[in-house]
A = this chain, B = another copy of it.
Amino acid sequence: MKSLLSNLKISVPDKIYLKDPESSKLGKRIIEHSILLIDKIGFDCFTFKKLGVEIGSNESSIYRYFESKHKLLLYLTSWYWAWIEYQMVFTTYNVHNPTKKLLKAIEVVTKTIEKDDTFSHINEILLNKIIINESSKSYLTKEVDIENKQGYFIVYKRLVKRLRDMILEINADYKFASSLASTIVDGALHQHFLKAHFTSITDCDANISPSDFFKELAVNAITITK
């Protein structure tokens, strides 16, 4: 219970930012408009100078919140996964049947995001698109091991571990619980990408969702060897 409650808050590892963007109006505008701008022009073309123009503020002011656009991406991904984790813990909390619980968790992790008005300055639909298109760039770098040691990816890893634990609750003997969990989380993003851009190599479309695929895949993987 304690462990659950301590993670319900959308909190991002504090080493990621220089100054907490949640602590000021400008900080919130930075987050709000960085999501809009990254979605619009892509992370590769996104710069703090362009963001400054967008929010009518100065480049140098943005640098006081984030060292680099890479750190900003780390912030956005951590926020996103913490938000997903919150929903996962919340929706599975009073579900006692292990299989039902896992299916609910997979649903949360793999579904197409809908509007959420809890956090007014964050557009979760666009943020989800950014996660699909850009989040892997946050760890596919030469600095990944150093940054991993500094805890920049704990939220993501914690989410995968929660999923792994639910898998093991169903079948403690399943040998690939961690790999299955990480495959579901990463694979869902990939299927959403394929659905939008490479339709010929996915079955996901208006009728079939990534959730359908991964739910069946997971249940078959875990229960067949039971």
- Listed in ascending order, the chain A residues whose CB lies under 8 Å from chain B are 41-42, 44-45, 133-134, 136-137, 139-142, 144-145, 148, 153, 157, 160-161, 164, 175-183, 186-187, 190-191, 193-194, 197-198, 200-204, 208, 210, 212-213, 216-217, 220-221, 224-225
Closest to A157 in B: B201
| Residue in B136, B142, B200, B217 whose beta carbon sits within 8 Å of that of A176 in the complex | B217
Q: Which 5 A-B pairs have the closest CB atoms?
A: A42-B142, A160-B201, A220-B224, A179-B203, A176-B213
Contacts A164-B201, A175-B203, A224-B224 hold; do A142 and B181 have CB atoms under 8 A apart? no
Q: Is the CB of B145 within 8 A of A197?
A: yes
Closest to A191 in B: B179
A221 proximity list for chain B (CB < 8 A): 216-217, 220-221
Report the Cα distance A134→B139, complex, angstroms. Answer: 11
Q: Is the CB of B198 within 8 A of A157?
A: yes
Report the Cα distance A208→B178, complex, angstroms. Answer: 12
| Count of chain copies | 2
A134 proximity list for chain B (CB < 8 A): 140
Report the Cα distance A114→B208, complex, angstroms. Answer: 38
Q: Is the CB of A203 within 8 A of B177?
A: yes
Question: Can you give 10 A-B contacts (C-beta < 8 A)?
Answer: A139-B193, A148-B198, A175-B208, A176-B213, A182-B194, A183-B183, A183-B191, A186-B187, A187-B190, A220-B220
A178 proximity list for chain B (CB < 8 A): 200-203
Q: Is the CB of B201 within 8 A of A190?
A: no
